[in-house]
Structures are given as C-alpha cells and as structure tokens.
C-alpha cells in the first residue's frame, strides 16, 4: 500500500494516492513503521479541499520527539561520510508491571543462560547490568514493551533506538533510564524508527534523538 501510494503521488494522481493510503491504514496487517508512514501521508495529502475532517490519530503522529545535539564526528573521522557511531502471557506481564521483573530476570537467567533464543545474546550484558537496567526502567514501561514484542515481534524486531542509558541516584536504589536514537548530520529518522520512538513514549519511556553535528547548532 505504501509503495503504491508513493508511486501514484509521483504520477500526480494525488486523490488516488490519498485513497490508497487511507485504505492501507484500515488494514490490520499494516503496522509499525509502515502504518506511521501511511498516517503521515494521509495528514500531508488529506488537506482541504480533498479532506475536511482531521483523523483521530493526527495528534499522536504529530508529537514532537525530543532531540539534543552534541558536537562530535563519526569513527571515519569526517562528518557527512559513511557513519558509524559509538555511540508470556498476560499473567507474566502483570508480574512485570507489579515490580517482579528483576525476580523473573534472575530466574530466567539461571534456568536458560547459554541456550539459543531468538533476540537474545547472553554474552552482550552481564546479569548485574541487566538487573540494574530493569530496576531503572521500571515495571510499567518494561511490561508495555514486552507486550509489543510478544504480540507482534515481526513488526517490532527492527528500528529500536541505538542506546539504552541508565543511572542510579544515591544509595536508595532509585534510578532512571533513557532510550536514545543517534543520528549524524545528514541522517533523519526512518518511519520504523519514528514508530518505535512514539510507541516507547506511549509505554512511558524517556526517549530522545541525539544529533551528532560538527558544531553545536541545535534547532
């Protein structure tokens, strides 16, 4: 649907392009980035006199994603060259939401560590690191994220932000976490990345885009 709508627009058949995009949004199999892309097309093409009614999803899609700027350069040394930066079921979800995420994590680690599992790399992080991250994220956002991945892994298996940052405050065990998408000077968010950031905001995560620029010029 998305490709057809784009092609029709290029042929200056704007009414047909808009109709195809609207039809695609009604398809329950169109999700994540593709759905966001179609919604954005409808908002752009569906202005008066083509359409007078504003879709109910308009405010959600138009939400501003926080962006910060840092001064830096890619590992390839020159800015604007090819970039590479450092840059179960409902009962289980209810347990996570209720504050049992760390307990579930420890139990799963002790029972399954080293066993091949799609989406899991046992060597990337230690158990202590994961426990700290879980504690800082909190039960509600983590449960919402797990629900998305459990119900539609295919649509949400790509495009997640580059960095998960967390820190503790003092000795009370309280902390905070943030998910960050890193972009170079000439990069912009893909529709899948935009869908992820908006969804994470709905889940209760603190998210932002970190724009790496040669000078500290922020919009």
| Residue 16 near residue 4 (C-beta atoms within 8 A) | no
The larger pLDDT score, comparing residue 10 to residue 72, is at 10
Question: Final residue of a domain: which of 42, 61, 80?
Answer: 61
Mean pLDDT of 165-183: 88
Closest CA to 24 of 44, 46, 2: 2
On whether both 77 and 176 belong to a single domain, the answer is yes
Cα 93 to chain centroid distance, Å, stands at: 20
* Least confident stretch, 9-13, 69-73, 114-118, 197-201: 69-73
On whether both 109 and 86 belong to a single domain, the answer is yes
CB contact set of 47 (below 8 Å; sequence gap of 6+): none
| Number of residues written out for the chain | 219
pLDDT at 83 over 50: no
On whether both 191 and 99 belong to a single domain, the answer is yes
Q: In 3-state terms, the chain is what percent helix, strand and coil (to 5)?
A: 45, 15, 40
Per-residue confidence (pLDDT) for residue 36, from 0 to 100: 87
On whether both 208 and 110 belong to a single domain, the answer is yes
Per-residue confidence (pLDDT) for residue 135, from 0 to 100: 93
Which residue range forms the structural domain that includes residue 102? 67-213
On whether both 38 and 120 belong to a single domain, the answer is no
On whether both 77 and 50 belong to a single domain, the answer is no
Alpha helices in 26-152 (DSSP H): 32-45, 58-61, 90-95, 101-112, 127-137, 139-151
> For 139-170, what is each residue's pLDDT tens digit?
999 999 998 888 888 888 889 999 999 999 87
Per-residue confidence (pLDDT) for residue 219, from 0 to 100: 52
On whether both 118 and 207 belong to a single domain, the answer is yes
On whether both 46 and 81 belong to a single domain, the answer is no
The larger pLDDT score, comparing residue 187 to residue 79, is at 187
The larger pLDDT score, comparing residue 215 to residue 43, is at 43
* Least confident stretch, 71-80, 130-139, 203-212: 71-80
Per-residue confidence (pLDDT) for residue 151, from 0 to 100: 86
Please tell me the distance from the alpha carbon of residue 134 to that of residue 184, in angstroms, as a whole number.
29
Residue 218 forms part of a structural domain: no
On whether both 84 and 166 belong to a single domain, the answer is yes
**What percentage of the chain carries pLDDT values higher than 70?**
88
On whether both 81 and 23 belong to a single domain, the answer is no
- Provide the number of structural domains found in the chain: 2
Per-residue confidence (pLDDT) for residue 52, from 0 to 100: 77
**What percentage of the chain carries pLDDT values higher than 90?**
38
> For 109-130, what is each residue's pLDDT tens digit?
999 999 998 888 999 999 999 9
Tokens 């905001």 found at:
201
Question: Final residue of a domain: which of 61, 77, 111?
Answer: 61
Mean pLDDT of 131-145: 94
């Amino acid at each position: 649907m998305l490709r057809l709508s784009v092609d029709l627009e290029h042929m200056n058949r704007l009414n047909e392009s808009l109709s195809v995009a609207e039809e695609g949004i009604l398809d329950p199999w169109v999700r994540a980035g593709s759905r966001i892309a179609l919604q954005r097309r409808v908002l752009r093409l569906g202005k008066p006199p083509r359409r007078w009614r504003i879709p109910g999803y308009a405010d959600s899609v138009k939400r501003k994603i926080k962006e910060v700027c840092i001064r830096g350069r890619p590992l390839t040394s020159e800015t604007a060259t090819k970039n590479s930066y450092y840059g179960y079921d409902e009962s289980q979800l209810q347990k996570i939401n209720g504050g049992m995420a760390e307990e579930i994590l420890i139990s799963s680690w002790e029972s399954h560590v080293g066993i091949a599992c799609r989406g899991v790399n046992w060597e990337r992080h230690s158990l202590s690191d994961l426990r700290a991250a879980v504690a800082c994220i909190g039960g509600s956002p983590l449960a919402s994220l797990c629900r998305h991945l459990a119900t539609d892994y295919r649509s949400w298996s790509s495009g997640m932000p580059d960095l998960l940052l967390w820190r503790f405050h003092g000795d009370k065990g309280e902390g905070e976490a943030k998910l960050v998408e890193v972009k170079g000077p000439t990069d912009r968010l893909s529709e899948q990345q935009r869908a992820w950031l908006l969804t994470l905001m709905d889940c209760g995560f603190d998210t932002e885009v970190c724009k790496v620029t040669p000078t500290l010029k922020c919009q």
